[in-house]
Amino acid sequence: MANFADTDFEDFKLFLLKKKMTSDEWLTGNLDKLRLFHTITLSFVIWDHCLRRKAPNQKYFMKETRSDCINSVFAVFTGCRKAANVLLRGMIENTLRHIYYFDHPIEFQMLMLDEEHMPFRELLQYSRKHPALSKAIREAACLEDLEQTYKTSSKFVHAQSLKFMQLSRALEEVEFDQKFFDWYVKKLGNIASNLNLLLVLAHSEEFRGMSPDFKRTIMKTMRKKNKKLLSKT
């Protein structure tokens, strides 16, 4: 019997075909990469679902991470590189914000009033000191990986050198790029492995209470070293 992830993947493929974002021929040649893209997106949908009854400060930014990942589907398949990299950065930022504000309801209320986010570097520092994360993330070097990916995506967003500039003179020039898709899925895979490691460690109780299908989906996004590290905790 197909599990919910397999069923949802079939719906995902049909959606892409219905919207004319891809073709049957392309799907056949890129099935593994597309499945990884879908599994990663589904993992953040699962976290959002499992935290839905939490207080606003404990679920707000997880919804943002989910939204960033879902929107990245459109950005990548329409060839919008800059938008796709903005969303990559957003996934990293919003997950780190989630970890910080989960335990800081007062600061969250102040954030809603002032609309001033904590700087990215400070979010990194907080996660490095987080009691549930500190030892594990040192072994996995996941924050270093996330920081490097964040910097790379920032080069696309801010066009910090000529090679990162995307110059289009007409809408017809904005189209799907296979090389960019391959690069993006690889980066997304690294990000998801690290972000889901952080989330499982920070929300160990919630993770233990998930259904086997939910757990399996989240674990599928993780690299071997992160899975191995989790087995020690």
Successive 10-residue mean pLDDT values, the chain, 233 residues: 83 94 94 96 97 96 97 91 91 96 94 85 92 79 90 69 48 77 94 96 94 95 88 70
214, 145 contact by CB (below 8 A): no
Say how many C-beta atoms besides its own lie within 10 A of residue 17's C-beta.
14
pTM: 0.90
What pLDDT score was predicted for residue 171?
Answer: 52
